[in-house]
Amino acid sequence: MNLDNKTVQSLASHLEQAELKTQDVVKITDAHPDMDFDDAYAIQYAIRKAKLSRGQKFAGLKMGLTSRAKMTQMGVDTPIFGFLMDYMARGDGGEIRIDELIHPKVEPEIAFVTKADLHGPGCHIGDVLAATDFVVPAMEVIDSRYRDFKFDLKSVIADNTSSSRFVAGGHAGDPRELDLRTLGVVLEKNGEVVATGAAAAVLGHPANSVAMLANMLGARGEHIPAGTFIMTGAVTEAVAVRKGDSINARFQGLGSISVRFV
Ligand code: OOG
Ligand code: MG
């Protein structure tokens, strides 16, 4: 850690205010070039604590930048993790208000729900499949608080990995029966296909993303508890949306998710 606690707290409040006031800010490493990865996660944890202290409920964890498409799109090369809260959840088939967001983008993801604790280091795909209750299709709405979605890895970790809204589909699948590598995903905007992919885009298999999360948490003395909802990261690049857009994400064998931005 290179930042003192006061600076961590004030950067957390700065970024959370940007979220709550729908106002973009410049990336925080511009003013704090010496901040390190521990500082970045400490800022993210301070935002989580602030939300919990206001009575909001923890809803799950997410991995980000787990696919080549996303790493290339954002110009970074290491997966990161963040958290989800209850107020970020929206229903399949529902509406998402655009005026609550800065410059949202949508991404199709595979989500896991665990039935046993997962501990790292040393967590691997076999542990994850054994500890998975079911998988569901999901759609994340990311909304970086940074101007023009321009950031570096430390800045985006501090900004809770651009978490903003998420939608989980209701068609649950068993990861032991599905082939999660070849599972196809089609993303449509206003009836036109705008991105396609296969779930192997996520670290070869989305369960590897959950294993990596357990290992990243393990390095911090934490674990993934049983019953955790985990989004494993975008299968395709993220697609920008505007007011009036209808989005439909189709997942092979797992149904589809649709939302409208109003
Ligand atoms: C960071 C969050 C990335 C994913 O699924 O890859 C992410 C960003 O691109 O703003 O959620
Ligand atoms: Mg995502």
DSSP 55-69: T--EEEEEEES-BHH
Closest residue by Cα to atom 10, ligand 1, is 162
For residue 77, pLDDT beyond 90: no
Give nearest CA residue, ligand 1 atom 11.
64
Bridge partners (DSSP) listed for residue 260: 95, 246
Q: Are 236 and 69 a contacting pair, CB within 8 Å?
A: yes
Instruction: Tell whether the model's pLDDT for residue 76 goes beyond 90.
Output: no
Alpha carbon nearest to ligand 1 atom 3, residue:
64
Closest residue CA from atom 1 of ligand 1: 161
Query: Is the minimum distance from the CB of 64 to ligand 1 under 6 angstroms?
Result: yes
* Residue 63 pLDDT exceeds 90: yes
User: Which amino acid, one-letter code, is at 243?
Assistant: K
Atom nearest to 142 CA in ligand 1: 10
86 Cα: distance to centroid of ligand 1 (angstroms):
19
Q: Is the CB of 107 under 6 A from ligand 1?
A: yes
Which ligand is nearest to the Cα of residue 105, counting in written order? 1
Number of H helices, E strands in the chain: 6, 13
Distance 30 CA to ligand 2 centre (A): 24
pLDDT tens column, 158-211: 999 999 999 999 999 999 999 999 999 999 999 999 999 999 999 999 999 999
Listed residue (135, 185, 153, 177) closest to 65, CA to CA? 153
Please report which confidence band the pLDDT of residue 220 belongs to, taking 50, 70 and 90 as the band edges: very high
Which residues lie closer than 8 Å to 82 by C-beta, 6 or more apart?
44, 61, 62, 64, 157, 160, 161, 162, 163
**Res 26 pLDDT > 90:** yes
Tell how far the Cα of 162 is from the centroid of ligand 2, in angstroms: 8
**How confident is the model over 69-83, as a mean pLDDT?**
92
Given this model, what pLDDT does residue 244 score?
98
Q: 95-136, pLDDT tens digit by residue?
A: 999 999 999 999 999 999 999 999 999 999 999 999 999 999
Site to substitute for ligand 1 among 67, 102, 107, most atoms within 8 A of C-beta: 107
Q: Is the CB of 140 under 6 A from ligand 1?
A: yes
Q: Is 258 exposed, middle or buried (0-12, 13-18, 19+ CB in 10 A)?
A: middle
- Is 10's pLDDT higher than 90? yes
What is the chain's mean pLDDT, rounded?
97
Percentage of the chain surpassing pLDDT 70? 100
H helices present in the chain, as ranges: 5-20, 37-53, 68-74, 125-131, 153-158, 206-218
74 lines ligand 1 (CB under 6 A): yes
